[in-house]
Amino acid sequence: RLLNQESRLIRKKIGTEARKEINHLLNTKVHLTLWVKIKKDWRNRPSDLKAFGYGDES
């Protein structure tokens, strides 16, 4: 249950900020639908970190 609550809070914050920015860029109202996927131990998997844009930045 804690993860469900946490994912709702994350989704709401990201969605609100993204919607505001897109509204501003397009000068119109938009509707966004977002999903949050919780992946166990993602911080310790190099492939997951790379998929999120982290790692090997040489």
pLDDT tens for 27-53 read 999 999 887 777 888 888 889 888 888
Range of the domain at 40: 2-51
pLDDT category, 8, cuts 50, 70, 90?
A: confident
Look at residue 57 and tell me whether its pLDDT is greater than 90: no
Residue 19 inside a domain? The answer is: yes
Count: domains in the chain: 1
Is the pTM above the cut of 0.75? no
Rounded mean pLDDT of the chain?
84
Residue 22 inside a domain? The answer is: yes
Look at residue 58 and tell me whether its pLDDT is greater than 80: no
Residue 28 inside a domain? The answer is: yes
Residue 57 inside a domain? The answer is: no
Q: What is the mean pLDDT of residues 12-18?
A: 93
Three-state SS string over the chain comes to: CHHHHHHHHHHHHHHHHHHHHHHHHHCCCCCCCCCCCCCCCHHHCHHHHHHCCCCCCC
